[in-house]
Amino acid sequence: MKMTRRRVMRGAVGAGGLRLLPGGLGVGLFCGSATTVAAPWPRSAFDATTRDDVLRLLFRDKTPVPSNAIQLTVPEIAENGSVVPVTVATSLSGVQTITLLAPGNPRVLMGQYVLGARGHAPVSVRVRLGKSQDIVAIVGTADGKLHSAVKPVKVTLGGCGG
């Protein structure tokens, strides 16, 4: 655990000043309130408008490998694009981060969930999708590998609208 965090720190500083998340892994980097960790928010990754930029900014040179050990559950048809439920579960062990991408959205990175030593999937959230697209879930494990799963969501409008 320690090793990855330090390497991620050094790498992050090198990659154009992006302060990647060090704090989430139990290190007491505080700002503001005492007992919580103020993870520096990866602004450039969240501002990125293409999938490749997000991957490069978050994971540098590592490329995610499709894996069927990830269960990405999304409704096939989302009747309301502003509330689309997403659940990511996985049988992989040593999961550290779960990242959700929406390549069809103006801002591709939707969220990154950092599981502490005792954190586990499944993780469930509700997201906003601008149009029908494939949602991508990337699971980062302790061995430094990245595993990905993709699921299409059809975003439609209601039939009536006044």
Partner 1 sequence: MSNTIRGRAKVSANGQAEIRLLINHPMTIERIDPATGKRQPGHFIEEISAVHKGETVFSALCGQAVSQNPFLAFTVAGVEKGDVITVHWRDTKGENDRADITVA
Partner 2 sequence: MRQFAKPLLAVAAICTAAAAQAQTAGSISGGDEMLDRIRAKWQPGGAEMIPQDVLTMFPCHDEELPCGKIPPPPVERVTFDGPLQGDAKRGEAIATNVRYGNCIACHILPGHEGGTIGPSLSEYSKRGMPLEYTYQRIWDVRAFNPYAFMPVYGPNRVLTDQEIRDVMVFIGTGGK
Partner 3 sequence: MNRLLQLGLLLTLVATVHAQVQHDFWPGRERVIPHVSGDEMWSGTYKNWKDSEAVKKSMAAGMMSRDINFKDFRWLEKSFDGELKVDMGREVFHRKSSNGRSCATCHGENGEKLKGWYATQPRFSAKANRVIVAATQISICAKEHLSEDWPENTRNNSLLDMYLAYLSDGRDVDIDVTSGPMKEAYEKGRDLFFKRTGHFHFACASCHTGVTTQSYLRGQRPSTFFGDAAHYPIYHFPYRLPGDDVEDIFTLQHQIKSCQMLSRMLPGVEGSRTLTAIEVFLKASANGYKMSIPTQEYNMSTGYLLRDGL
In the complex, the residues that contact partner 2 under the rule CB under 8 A are: 154, 156-162
Name residue, tokens 């309130």: 33
Residue 137 touching partner 1 (CB under 8 A)? no
Which residues is 5 bridged to in the sheet? Answer: none
Task: Please work out the total of residues on this chain that contact partner 1, with binding judged by CB under 8 A.
Answer: 44
Determine the interface stretch with partner 1 among 10-18, 65-73, 118-126, 142-150 (rule: CB under 8 A): 118-126
Sign for the CA dihedral angle at 24, 28, 30, 34 comes to positive
Question: Are 145 and 95 a contacting pair, CB within 8 Å?
Answer: no
d(CA 118, CA 155) in angstroms, rounded, equals 35
Give me the 107-126 binding string for partner 3, x by CB under 8 A, dash otherwise.
-----------------x-x
Beta carbons within 10 angstroms of residue 30's beta carbon: 12
- Choosing from 55, 70, 74, 123, the residue that interacts with partner 1 (CB under 8 A) is 123
Q: Given the rule CB under 8 A, which residues bind partner 1? A: 21, 23-26, 32-33, 35-39, 41-42, 46, 82-85, 87, 102, 105, 107, 109-129
